[in-house]
Amino acid sequence: FFSDMDVVELPVVWRAAVAARNFEVGEEILREPPLLLLPKIRQDTPLFDSLDAIANKHHVAEKVLYPCIYYCRASEEIKSKVKEFYVPRLDEDGLQYKRYHGAVTEVAELPELKASGVPWEELLDFILILRCNVHMIGDGTKTSALFYLGSKVTHSCDPNCMALAIGIQLVYRAIRPIVKGEPITFSYISGFDLWKSTPARRELLLDQRFFTCCCLRCTREDRCRYRICPECGDQNLCRYESGQLSYMGQDPTPPTDTPWFCQNAECGKKFKDEDMDLEVEKALQYNVLENFFSTKQITSVHPELPQTMLKVCEEKLGRNHWLTLLMIYSHMAMHHTALNSGQKPLSTGKDCLVWADRLCKWMEVAMPNTMQQAVIAKFAGQTAEVYGVPELASLWFTRAIPVLRVHHGNHGKDIREMLAYIEEHGSPEQIVVASKPCRVIDMGKNVPVVSVKNSPTTNGKPSNDEGKITEAPEAGPVDPAVTKKQAKREKIKEQRKLRKGGRA
């Protein structure tokens, strides 16, 4: 365990972690064991039956209530630390509050939990704390956890850190240089959610995490949502978002009357929201996300739908709008899926290379130096490799490697393969960039192995032992094996993504 952060009071954001020194890309800022582990697995006991019944009655997800068990059984020391966490406030007349309130008042009265003496008000706070502060660990689905210092790191849609679960520890690594005193940030949302426009990201964060994001990306011009200028036809009409930069703002200042601004210097015209066909944009957003990027299983998509959608997005919204780029990604994924399964793709290799180029250029503007950009650059590089364009493949692989090194801790089969390709086909400058290891700190023998005793019992007696963490500092390093597993998981995830994108 170590921390190179200070926790300070900042306006609006409450308590936030700031850098205690300067950091280079790849350096670790925090490595922390969990304060409270929260397994999501349901156990076949009367207590879980009762929680399921309460959840059903009040229309709350069962998983929201399970953590109450582990909180009630935690030691007083852990409970008092949890009480220091940020608690979002819900509107007491709102539906969500009423559901949570109804559920926790019954949970607090369950005989198995009542003995712990936790009142319903405290349980409600705990559930809300989880909504804003919980981290996924382990394989990302089975266990979540609260981290005391980790929870002080605030969200940004344009973060300077990535959060990794190594074993059950939470690790923050810098993905860009950070200066002393700068707030440490990571993104609560990931994957395609980060491609979204500012209003769409804000809606998601408000719904899932109960706050209106006022990060740097949310309060400047929206670089994911370029539209076509109604005056000059330029593809770079931009919306300037409202709100002042703060790390967890709640109340953005109202937008100006004419937030749309043409970037073409010869035009420079401003527009109102009413001029911009927002209803069409909204309908397309629904269609693209629902048909191509939803987790729901869709059984049949008309074979011509993807092409039609791409064309409509391009014509109505523009070539640099995030929905157009999502459709391009979807087409590329379908192309690769067809190739991998030995079928003839609907699009040509030339189409695919043009799309790869557009995606990379868009990422360079929308999300430079991020994991999203690295994933797309790698994907584009693989496309160029398949179609025998080594200059492009080397260029894109070189762009992907530095961020992937931060994520994989310099290791990873994909990094080795791309590096070998660049060494064979790339320029001397590209070889220098791609082979430079990032400054991930090697923890060596100092990595503590954390073992946790956390099995719930049903005898109704609260036990101070539950959820307590014991450290075994004598044990050896855990990093390489875990990194390997992570790389494998990443690969499986990617394949899943490809399959999803190429469902049609």
Minimum CB–partner distance for residue 466 and Zn ion (Å): 37
Q: Which stretch binds Zn ion (CB under 5 A): 88-96, 225-233, 316-324, 464-472?
A: 225-233
Closest CB to Zn ion among residues 17, 194: 194
SS3 track for 233-273: CCCCEEEECCCCCCCCCCCCCCCCCCCEEECCCCCCCEECH
- Smallest distance from Zn ion to CB 268, Å: 7
Least distance from C-beta 292 to Zn ion, angstroms? 24
By CB under 5 A, residue 75 contacts Zn ion: no
Residue nearer to Zn ion on the CB measure, 67 or 243? 243
245 binds Zn ion (CB under 5 A): no
The smaller minimum CB distance to Zn ion, of residues 34 and 259, is found at: 259
Q: How far is the CB of 130 from Zn ion (least distance, A)?
A: 21
Instruction: Give least dist CB 204 to Zn ion, A.
Output: 10
Rule CB under 5 A: choose which of 10, 12, 204, 267 binds Zn ion.
Answer: 267
Please compute Rg for the chain using Cα positions: 24
Widest Cα–Cα separation across the chain: 76
DSSP letter string, 281-324: HHHHHHHHHHHHS-SS------TTHHHHHHHHHHHHT-TTBHHH
Question: CB-wise, 11 or 444, nearer to Zn ion?
Answer: 11
Q: Name the segment binding Zn ion (CB under 5 A); options: 104-112, 210-218, 281-289, 450-458.
A: 210-218
- Confirm or reject binding of residue 234 to Zn ion (CB under 5 A): yes
Q: Is 101 helix (H, G, I), strand (E, B) or coil?
A: helix
- In the complex, least distance from residue 393 CB atom to Zn ion, rounded to whole angstroms: 33
Helix axes 479-501, 322-340, angle to 10 degrees: 100
* Interface region with Zn ion, contact rule CB under 5 A, candidates 104-112, 150-158, 292-300, 323-331: 150-158
**367 is an interface residue for Zn ion by CB under 5 A:** no
Q: 255 with 212: CB under 8 angstroms?
A: no
Q: Which stretch binds Zn ion (CB under 5 A): 264-272, 311-319, 342-350, 411-419?
A: 264-272
Q: Choose, by CB under 5 A, the member of 113, 229, 363, 367 that binds Zn ion.
A: 229
Measured from the CB atom, the residue of 229 and 356 that comes closer to Zn ion is 229
Q: Residues 427-466: x/- map of binding to Zn ion (CB under 5 A)? A: ----------------------------------------
Residue 49 has, within 13 A of its CA and on its CB side, a CA count of 4
Q: How far is CA 156 from the centre of its chain?
A: 10
Q: Tell whether residue 215 is a contact of Zn ion (CB under 5 A).
A: yes
CB of 486 to Zn ion, least distance (A): 26
**Separation between Cα atoms, residue 215 and residue 12, nearest integer Å:** 12
Alpha-carbon gap, residue 109 to 460, rounded angstroms: 12
344 vs 335: CA distance, rounded Å:
9
113 binds Zn ion (CB under 5 A): no
Whose Cβ is closer to Zn ion: residue 237's or residue 419's?
237
Q: In the bound complex, what is the minimum distance in angstroms from residue 186's beta carbon to Zn ion?
A: 12
From the list 49-57, 151-159, 283-291, 327-335, the region that binds Zn ion by CB under 5 A is 151-159
Element holding 404 (H helix, E strand): helix 390-408
HSE-CB for 449 with a 13 A CA cutoff: 10
- φ/ψ of residue 164, rounded to 5: -130, 145
Closer residue to Zn ion (CB): 168 or 229: 229
Q: Segment near Zn ion (CB under 5 A), from 212-220, 278-286, 324-332, 448-456?
A: 212-220
Site for Zn ion contains 231 (CB under 5 A): yes
Q: Cβ closer to Zn ion: 215 or 363? A: 215
Give the separation between CA 379 and CA 331, rounded to whole angstroms.
13
Cα angle at 64 between 58 and 69, to 5 degrees? 105
Least separation in angstroms between residue 45's CB and Zn ion is 41
Q: Between residues 229 and 392, which has the closer beta carbon with respect to Zn ion?
A: 229
Note whether 262 binds Zn ion by CB under 5 A. Answer: yes
In this structure, what is the dihedral angle of CA atoms 31, 36, 39, 45, given to the nearest 10 degrees? 160
State whether residue 6 is helix, strand or coil.
Answer: strand
Q: How far apart are CA 423 and CA 372, in angstroms?
A: 24
Contact 175, 164 (CB under 8 A): no
Whats the size of the chain, residue-wise?
504
State which of residues 213, 224, 392, 434 lies at the interface with Zn ion (CB under 5 A): 213
> How buried is 172 (Cβ within 10 angstroms: 0-12 exposed, 13-18 middle, 19+ buried)?
buried
Q: Does 238 bind Zn ion (CB under 5 A)?
A: no
How near is the Cβ of 364 to Zn ion at its closest, in Å? 19
Residues 155-174 that bind Zn ion (CB under 5 A): 157
- Give all strands (DSSP E) within 53-152, no chain letters: 135-137, 143-146
> Min. distance of Cβ 367 from Zn ion in angstroms?
12
Least distance (Å) between residue 123 CB and Zn ion: 30
CB of 263 to Zn ion, least distance (A): 8
Interface positions with Zn ion (CB under 5 A): 157, 213, 215, 218, 229, 231-232, 234, 262, 264, 267
